Amino acid sequence: MSKAQHIIIVASDLSGYMAAAYLARMLPASDYEFTLVRAGELRAAALFGVAHPDLRRFNKTLQINEVDFITTCNATFRLGVTVSGFGKAPYKRTFSQYGVPIDGAGFYDALLANNHSPHPADLEQYNLPAAMIQAGKFTLPADSSKPILSDFDYGYCFDTRSYAEMLCECTMRFGVKIIDSPSVRLDADNTHVILDDDRVLQADLIVDATASQTNVQRESWQDQMPFSSYTVSHSDGGPKSLSLAPELRAGADIVSLSYDLQHSTTKVTFGQSGDIEFRPGRAATAWTGNVVRLGLSAMTLFPVDANLTQIAQIDIERLVELFPPNLSAPIEREEYNRRTSEFYDRMRDFASLHLKTARTQGDIWDRLSAMALPLDAAYKLSLFSACGRIAVLDEESILKDSWHAMLLGHDIIPARASRMAMNVTAAQLDANLKRLSDFISRAVSAMPSQEDFIARHCPAPNRTSR
Quote the pLDDT of residue 446.
97
Q: Among 110, 61, 82, which Cα is nearest to 388's?
A: 110
pLDDT-based confidence at residue 466 (cuts at 50, 70, 90): very low
Least confident interval from 190-194, 256-260, 323-327, 438-442: 323-327
pLDDT at 319 over 90: yes
Q: Is residue 325 part of a domain?
A: yes
Question: Residue range 387-399: average pLDDT?
Answer: 90
pLDDT at 164 over 70: yes
In whole angstroms, give the CA distance from residue 313 to residue 318.
9
Instruction: Name the burial class of residue 199, with classes exposed (0-12), middle (13-18) and buried (19+) by CB atoms within 10 angstroms of its CB.
Output: exposed
Quote the pLDDT of residue 294.
96
Q: Are 130 and 440 in contact (CB under 8 A)?
A: no
Q: Are 206 and 56 in contact (CB under 8 A)?
A: no
pLDDT at 143 over 70: yes
pLDDT at 336 over 80: yes
Quote the pLDDT of residue 272.
87
Question: Residue range 402-430: average pLDDT?
Answer: 93
Number of domains comprising the chain: 1
Q: Among 445, 448, 453, which Cα is nearest to 66's?
A: 453
Question: Residue range 129-157: average pLDDT?
Answer: 95
- The CATH number linked to 406 is 3.50.50.60
pLDDT at 445 over 60: yes
Q: Is residue 462 part of a domain?
A: no
Q: Are 74 and 392 in contact (CB under 8 A)?
A: no
pLDDT-based confidence at residue 464 (cuts at 50, 70, 90): low
Quote the pLDDT of residue 212.
85
Question: Residue range 290-315: average pLDDT?
Answer: 93
Q: Are 226 and 285 in contact (CB under 8 A)?
A: no
Q: Is residue 464 part of a domain?
A: no
Least confident interval from 133-147, 183-197, 281-295, 397-411: 183-197
Quote the pLDDT of residue 2.
58
Quote the pLDDT of residue 46.
94
Count other C-beta atoms under 10 Å from residue 24's C-beta: 23
Q: What is the pLDDT of residues 73-125, one digit of tens each?
A: 999 999 999 999 998 899 999 999 999 999 889 999 999 999 999 999 999 99
Query: What residues have CB less than 8 Å from 302, skipping those under 6 apart?
Result: 221, 225, 227, 255, 270, 280, 351, 355
Q: Is residue 465 part of a domain?
A: no
Quote the pLDDT of residue 180.
95
Quote the pLDDT of residue 465.
47
DSSP string for 255-324: EEEEEE-SSEEEEEEEESS-SEE---EEES-SEETTEEE-GGGTEE---TT--HHHHHHHHHHHHHHTPS
Please tell me whether residue 250 adopts helix, strand or coil conformation. strand
Q: Is residue 135 part of a domain?
A: yes
Q: Is residue 36 part of a domain?
A: yes
Question: Residue range 440-455: average pLDDT?
Answer: 97
pLDDT-based confidence at residue 1 (cuts at 50, 70, 90): very low
Question: What range does the domain containing 328 cover?
Answer: 5-452
Question: Residue range 28-32: average pLDDT?
Answer: 90
Q: Is residue 458 part of a domain?
A: no
Quote the pLDDT of residue 240.
75
State the chain's mean pLDDT as an integer.
93
Quote the pLDDT of residue 215.
74
Q: Is residue 266 part of a domain?
A: yes
In whole angstroms, give the CA distance from residue 461 to residue 129.
27
pLDDT-based confidence at residue 447 (cuts at 50, 70, 90): very high
pLDDT-based confidence at residue 71 (cuts at 50, 70, 90): very high
Strand 5-11 to 205-209 pairing: parallel
pLDDT-based confidence at residue 148 (cuts at 50, 70, 90): very high
Quote the pLDDT of residue 359.
87
Q: What are residue 235's phi and psi, to 5 degrees?
A: -120, 120
Quote the pLDDT of residue 76.
97
